Amino acid sequence: MSALSEQRRDELIDKLAQAVLRHGMQTPAVWFLEMHKPLGFIGAQALLFLEPVLGAFSGDAAIHEVAALLEERENVERLLARLERGQEPPSAKP
């Protein structure tokens, strides 16, 4: 699977974090990610396995990008850090 560029990786992390925060699921998401951090690679492979079914709800490219994001533990750590920061004004991005 192709690696994500740093810019695209950061965009995906921010997009996922905003979706979680918008639905008020910050705490459960952090708990889930912390508990399943070692299984990130397996989760990414499960996404690819379920791609034919999930592709009906979102594009194949989106599934591949999220799978590539979850494959690397550092990206899960980045997502956790972003969730723990919570809501940020749009201009506060580093």
**Exposure class string for 38-76: b at 16+ Cβ within 10 A, else e:** eebeeebeebbeeeeebeeeeeeeebbbbbbbbbbeebb
pLDDT bucket at 94, cuts 50 / 70 / 90: low
The two structure tokens encoding residue 74: 């550092």
Statement: residue 57 has pLDDT above 90: no
Statement: residue 1 has pLDDT above 60: no
Q: What is the mean pLDDT of residues 20-45?
A: 92
Average pLDDT over the chain, rounded to an integer: 88
Question: Which helix (H) or strand (E) element contains residue 59?
Answer: none
